Chains A and B, each alone.
Chain A
Amino acid sequence: MDLYLPIANLSVNALVIIGLGGVVGLLSGMFGVGGGFLTTPLLIFYGIPPTVAAASAASQVTGASVSGVFTHISRGTVDFRMGGVLIAGGVVGAGLGVLIFRLLQYWGQIDTVIGILYVLMLGGIGLLMAKESIQALIALKTGKRVQARKRRHHPLVAALPMRWRFYRSGLYISPLAPLLLGMATGILTMLLGVGGGFILVPAMLYLLGMTTQSVVGTSLFQILFVTMATTMMHAMTTKAVDLVLAMLLLIGSVTGAQVGTRLSMTIRPEYLRVLLALIVLLVAARMALGLGWRPDEIFTIELS
């Protein structure tokens, strides 16, 4: 079933895109991540122009995180104050991302930077996750318990001035720390079309030292609003949001997300984390191959 994408200027097989959205949605439901880190590279691989891919993937992440946010709000596991600070940072970051995007485009280095960011980010976090989840698996097999990490925020965070109380996160820290963190993920969202949950969740846990219960809900809350802001900024500046493409992705991903959520209840979380770590490392390796071994295309064309 071929369908013409009016902004991307090409026709795609609608079922393939819906299926792609479905797979990403399945993963996002199973692991509680947005899945943007998979959508953008897969769309580019399919032949969609990179800018259109990143711009349209952001709205897919919005759709995938909506129902999660509602669930977490009803459970009371969203720290609105912390979320608000993160969103403020995220929106500023997305704005900065637009400037960085333009600058890199002008220098002609946008695809290299996107590639390097993907490799570093996914590779680093994938390895971290793999190490932790394998440790957890070994502990599960041998029956030994992993020593729980002492929850404490990073000394750098403690050094920042002006402290606020974040009750649900169990923190008394400077709002500058989550603001900067939000900015960093906002930039990533704009550049890569990812939600940034990958960076956000570990950073909230290990840098800020938030309570585990409120981490996922709050990060989803931030992702929801920042991807909305990013979609808007793309619509206003790059004008690369393809509604037809976004719609197809959404149909797949919102359905997949629901299936994934149910599936995740039947599989042990330890196995899930190993699986996710593998997928993340696989994407990172694919990107690294393009950077170090051989790029997909030697030449690129851009209108001037």
Chain B
Amino acid sequence: MQRRALWRLAPALLLVAANAPQLVPDVSQRDIEIQYSFTGADLLLFGAIVYPDGVRPEKPADIVVVLKGPEQSITMREKQKVAGIWVNADRASFRSAPSFYAMASSRPIDRIVDERTAAIYELGVDKLQLSPSSLNESAELSRFQQGLVDLRERSGLFVERPGTVEISDGVLYRARLPLSARVIVGDYTAETFLVQDGRVVAAAVRDITVRKSGFEQFMATAAEQWSFLYGLTAIALAVGMGWAAGAIARRI
């Protein structure tokens, strides 16, 4: 009896959910192909905020968009000066370091949400959950995390663009995020969060696929699967070109 009563309650709960605003997100490109001239891509993340009954709240809501790449298991090493020479002295391993992370928000993130909420939703490069798998002290771990963020930011793999999400009329939003040429292939996700009064009130996800195509795909597969033939081709190419250049130079 009780269970049945609960079932009757369910539509009512849904009704409450329907009263919350919803997000209808999209991205300019769902399929990114890496080709010979690939120098990165500029992704446009846009969409609409649908308020129940079309009533906009008095206080404008905020939007945060996060573009995340496949997670990797990594080992980081830190150089220290030992006996006058810089050598790798310390190490730490992380099970889930995103290979790519880009975030844009309508205002600086610390003014939209508090620390805890930011950590829960991984909003910001310093809030990423890397799942350390080695036994380092927490001070050490945060040093490594800073090192990772610094390295990836400089190669364009970690991007933070606070205050770049434009919201027009309180219902349409758009943001631009750069996808570096160094991205790896795999499944990416574009998450959009609607934040009101420091709480995430709606979230939506779109999937993006990054893959090599044509010649680049062929080369990557060839190097991996037909490595002997691939090596032979490299050698033949080198010998052929060296010989040809010599032969041409003798004629001139």
Query: Of B230, B238, B239, which is in contact with the most chain A CB atoms at under 10 Å from its CB?
Result: B238
The answer to whether A295 touches B79 (Cβ under 8 A) is yes
The prevalent SS among residues of A at the interface is helix
B:162-187 near A, CB below 8 Å = 181-182, 184
The answer to whether A4 touches B181 (Cβ under 8 A) is yes
The answer to whether A109 touches B88 (Cβ under 8 A) is yes
The answer to whether B216 touches A4 (Cβ under 8 A) is yes
Q: Is B148 an interface residue (CB 8 A)?
A: yes
CB distance from A94 to the nearest CB of B (A): 13
Q: Is A65 an interface residue (CB 8 A)?
A: yes
CB distance from A189 to the nearest CB of B (A): 14
CA of A59 to CA of B236, assembled, Å:
10
Q: Is B242 an interface residue (CB 8 A)?
A: yes
Contact segment of A80-88, A177-185, A237-245: A237-245
Q: Hey, which chain B residues are within 8 Å of A62, CB to CB?
A: 235, 238-239, 242
CB distance from B23 to the nearest CB of A (A): 33
The answer to whether A7 touches B219 (Cβ under 8 A) is yes
Output the nearest chain B residue to A291 by Cβ-Cβ distance.
B85
Q: Is A9 an interface residue (CB 8 A)?
A: yes
CB distance from B245 to the nearest CB of A (A): 4
Q: Is A275 an interface residue (CB 8 A)?
A: no
Contact partner, B75, options A111, A297, A304, Cβ 8 Å: A304
Q: Hey, which chain A residues are within 8 Å of B44, CB to CB?
A: none
**Given known A231-B234, A298-B78, contact A304–B241 (CB-CB < 8 A):** no
Output the nearest chain A residue to B97 by Cβ-Cβ distance.
A301
Q: Hey, which chain B residues are within 8 Å of A257, CB to CB?
A: 242, 245
Contact partner, B245, options A9, A255, A301, Cβ 8 Å: A255
Mask of A283-304 contacts with B, CB within 8 angstroms, 1/0: 0000000111011011111111
The answer to whether B37 touches A3 (Cβ under 8 A) is yes
Q: Hey, which chain B residues are within 8 Å of A9, CB to CB?
A: 182, 184
Q: Is A207 an interface residue (CB 8 A)?
A: no
Output the nearest chain A residue to B87 by Cβ-Cβ distance.
A112
The answer to whether B242 touches A4 (Cβ under 8 A) is no
Mask of B39-57 contacts with A, CB within 8 angstroms, 1/0: 1100000000000000000
A:38-76 near B, CB below 8 Å = 47, 59-60, 62-67, 70-71
The answer to whether A299 touches B78 (Cβ under 8 A) is yes
Contact partner, B151, options A235, A244, A297, Cβ 8 Å: A297
Q: Is B136 an interface residue (CB 8 A)?
A: no
CB distance from A287 to the nearest CB of B (A): 12
The answer to whether A246 touches B245 (Cβ under 8 A) is no
CB distance from B138 to the nearest CB of A (A): 17
The answer to whether B243 touches A67 (Cβ under 8 A) is yes
Contact partner, B36, options A4, A59, A298, Cβ 8 Å: A4
**Given known A9-B182, A304-B73, contact A290–B239 (CB-CB < 8 A):** no
**Given known A70-B243, A112-B86, A301-B148, contact A63–B238 (CB-CB < 8 A):** yes
The answer to whether B246 touches A66 (Cβ under 8 A) is yes
The answer to whether A10 touches B182 (Cβ under 8 A) is yes
Mask of B110-129 contacts with A, CB within 8 angstroms, 1/0: 00000000000000000000
Q: Hey, which chain B residues are within 8 Å of A244, CB to CB?
A: 219
The answer to whether B144 touches A6 (Cβ under 8 A) is no
Q: Hey, which chain A residues are within 8 Å of B227, CB to CB?
A: 235-236, 239
The answer to whether A243 touches B234 (Cβ under 8 A) is yes
Known interface pairs A9-B184, A62-B242, A66-B243; 10 further A-B residue pairs with C-beta atoms within 8 A, sorted by A's residue number: A63-B238, A63-B241, A243-B219, A247-B237, A298-B78, A302-B75, A302-B77, A303-B75, A304-B73, A304-B93
Q: What are 30 A-to-B residue pairs whose CB atoms are below 8 Å?
A: A2-B37, A2-B39, A3-B37, A4-B38, A4-B216, A6-B219, A60-B238, A62-B238, A67-B245, A108-B77, A108-B91, A109-B87, A111-B88, A228-B239, A235-B223, A236-B227, A239-B227, A241-B223, A243-B219, A257-B245, A258-B245, A258-B249, A261-B249, A294-B86, A298-B147, A300-B76, A300-B77, A300-B79, A300-B88, A303-B75
